[in-house]
Each structure stands twice: as structure tokens, then as C-alpha cells.
Amino acid sequence: MEPIAVDRRIGAAKGSIEQWERGEGNPTIVQLRKLAQVYKRPLAVFFLAAPPVGFNTLRDFRRLAEIGHGEWSAALHAEYRRAHAQRDVLLELAELDGDGLSTNWRLPVPSDDDRLAESARQHLRGLSVLPFPTPGADQYKHLNFWTNALEEAGVLVMSTEGGEVKVEEMRAFTLYFDEVPVIMLNGTDATRGRLFSLLHEYVHLLLHTEGLCDTTTDTRSTSPDRMLEARCNAVAAAILMPAQDVLSARLVGAHRAGDPWSLPDLIDAAKPFGVSVEAFLRRLVTLGKVPLKIYQEFRAGQGEGHSKKAKQRSSGGNFYSTKARDLGKGYVRRVAGAHRRAVIDSTTAATYLDVKVGQIPKLASASQVSG
């Protein structure tokens, strides 16, 4: 960002940034706080003698071992810090309320992944307060159902803000804790992509692992990290698309072995599960209904599961709905509830929710669970 634009963003006189960089004068603490917001850096960074390095603390599942890890963007660092900060808020509110935090997300992990998927599926279905999506339900109802189930299980589910973290960098990440683990989804990803990432990250939690993911299965790689990613994909797919339900689907049952799948048929067959065509086609491979080569050709040609097919969030939409989604509806409900019971004051609640005091009621309304 050009210095003159930063001057304007922080309300400083023209040329202030360039003067400070030359050591001529210093910003006020208010200006420093605004600079921290503009550059997406912690305030303490501005008091260091040199720019910090080595803050990439999460395991990185995104790249093949021979490629190595890339440096995080400032936006990704900001979302990582926000995830920790919001988790700290929930821990503080639980202490103020004097109640325990749900750890229902945890499950015994059997050696058989099909049993793990079935156990997780039934467990989460029993926790969600929303009705299970009907075959004709749209993709949002599927995402809302599973998101609510994980929130009820004690997981903080969030989304990245502002569209600044690109799906090329991160589809999702997980922070593993016994209490209030965090799943961060990329808010610019397609809805079906976010749904699959959500369950993929939940499997990471069940396996007591955390890190940055792109949820892409590379069938040629045998590195431990990529093999773990493939395992999380397989279990997530089995949760969302149980074998019996897929195999008994009309389009699958009527399809003759060896015949090509048309894109319209794949779209229709995937819709009842709320998943992408790519995820459904990969599941058919796993179930022995489609050769792996067909999936690889589809992915190479027009796969919708990766960044170039992800829908970028527009700058429009409802502010309160988007804000509730990004913060996490469960998080907003908890903070708004504490405010309503006078456990915290209005200023504190507004700070935790990153809104003005007068906006709290509408944000709270947008966070309510509805089918």
C-alpha cells in the first residue's frame, strides 16, 4: 500500500509515514493502533528493532514435502491471531459464568475409518438443533446443519474476514485444544467447498492434529502429511456421503459400468449430500463405481474443488449475516448472551464482537439458529 494511502487511512497528515520511516518524528499510540489494523500486525511489532520472522507455528499440510513451506501472508497471520483471541474470550466467559465448556466433539477413534465416519456422523446428527437436510435442501442448509452440530459439540467455527486470505493460500485451518478447539474456514471459498473443509478439519481434531489445509488429495504422494490429508478427506467424505446412501441413489444405481458420467448427472447426484461434484466423484472412486483415471481427468479439466473454481465473496450482502458467519454464530450467541445477562458490559461486548454497541442486537439476531 502506498504511504499516502496509509496516511489517509490512519488520519495522519500527508507524508507522515515517509517521515516516520526516516526517523523524523513518531506516530501517536492511536495512530499505531490504526497502523496495526492496516498492516494486520500486532501492535507490539512496531516496538521491535527489526521485523519479526519465524511466526508460522501451525503444521502445514498444504504442500508436498519436496516443495517446502511458504511464508504466511499478513492476512493469514491476522486470522490466526483472531482465532486465538476469540477462543480466549470464550474461555473467559465460561469462567465468568461459572459453567463448563462442552467437549462433546471428542470421540474414541477406532482403527477402522469407516466405523469412525459412521460414529462421527451419528454423533453430530444427534447434537445439531437443526433438522437434517432433506434431499432437496440447498447447499446452505447442509453447511448450516453441520456447522451448528460442531458448535453444539464445543467447537468454535469461524470464517476468514474481508476476502484477504485467498483459497490459494488456505482452504481451512484447525487449532487443536481439549476445550474450545477452532476450525477456521476460508470465507471466500465456495459453500460446498467450505462444507467439505469443515468435516475434513473435524477429522483432524478427532485425530488430535492441527494445521493449515487445502483439502486436496494428491494420490501420487506418500509423504506422511499428504497421507494424513488423504485420510481426513476419506473420513470426511464417508461422513457426508455414507456408502449405502450413495450406492442406493437412483442415478448411481441406474448408471451402467463403463458409461461416462455427464456433468448434469453428477450435479444432480451430488446435490442431496450438499457436496461438490468433485467430492462426489472422488467418493464414487472410493466405492469402486468410477475408475481413478476418470476422477483425475475431471480434476485436471474442470474440477471445482480448488481455488480457481472457488466463488469469491462479493463486497455486498448483509453486514450482520456476514459478520455473524465470520465470527462464528455460536461465538456471537455466547457473547450476546453474556451481555444480555449483564455478565459483561456493553463496551466489552462490542469489543468482543468488533461492532458498535448499537449494532449488538442486530448481530445477535443474525446469529440465531434457523433451519
**Is 222 within a domain?**
yes
Count of domains forming the chain:
3
Residue where one domain finishes, among candidates 309, 334, 351: 309
C-alpha cell recorded at residue 304: 471445482
Q: Which domain holds residue 34?
A: 3-47
Clarify whether residues 243 and 304 are in a common domain.
yes
Mean pLDDT of 3-24: 80
If one compares 282 and 52, the residue with the highest pLDDT of the two is 282
Task: Please write the tens of the pLDDT for every residue from 66-125.
Answer: 444 568 888 999 999 999 999 999 999 999 988 878 999 999 999 899 999 999 999 999
Residue where one domain finishes, among candidates 284, 309, 334: 309
Of 311, 329, 313, the C-alpha closest to 147 is: 329
**Residue 218: pLDDT band by 50, 70, 90 thresholds?**
low
Clarify whether residues 109 and 184 are in a common domain.
yes
**Residue 303: pLDDT band by 50, 70, 90 thresholds?**
very low
Clarify whether residues 348 and 305 are in a common domain.
no
Clarify whether residues 155 and 286 are in a common domain.
yes
Mean pLDDT of 303-318: 50
Clarify whether residues 303 and 325 are in a common domain.
no
Residue 202 C-alpha from the chain's centroid: 10
Clarify whether residues 287 and 342 are in a common domain.
no
**Is 167 within a domain?**
yes
Q: Which of 36-40, 139-143, 199-203, 214-218 has the lowest mean pLDDT?
A: 214-218
Clarify whether residues 150 and 219 are in a common domain.
yes
Which pLDDT score is estimated for 184? 98
Residue 30, classified by CB atoms within 10 Å of its CB into exposed (0-12), middle (13-18) or buried (19+), is exposed
Which pLDDT score is estimated for 27? 84
Residue 36 C-alpha from the chain's centroid: 24
Taking residue 38's Cβ as centre, other Cβ atoms within 10 Å add up to 14
**Is 56 within a domain?**
no
Task: Please write the tens of the pLDDT for every residue from 270-279.
Answer: 999 999 999 9
Q: Is 361 left (phi over 0), alpha (psi -120 to 50) or beta?
A: alpha
Clarify whether residues 14 and 159 are in a common domain.
no
**Is 58 within a domain?**
no
**Is 61 within a domain?**
no
**Is 69 within a domain?**
no
**Is 203 within a domain?**
yes
Clarify whether residues 40 and 134 are in a common domain.
no
**Is 178 within a domain?**
yes
Clarify whether residues 171 and 254 are in a common domain.
yes
Clarify whether residues 203 and 246 are in a common domain.
yes
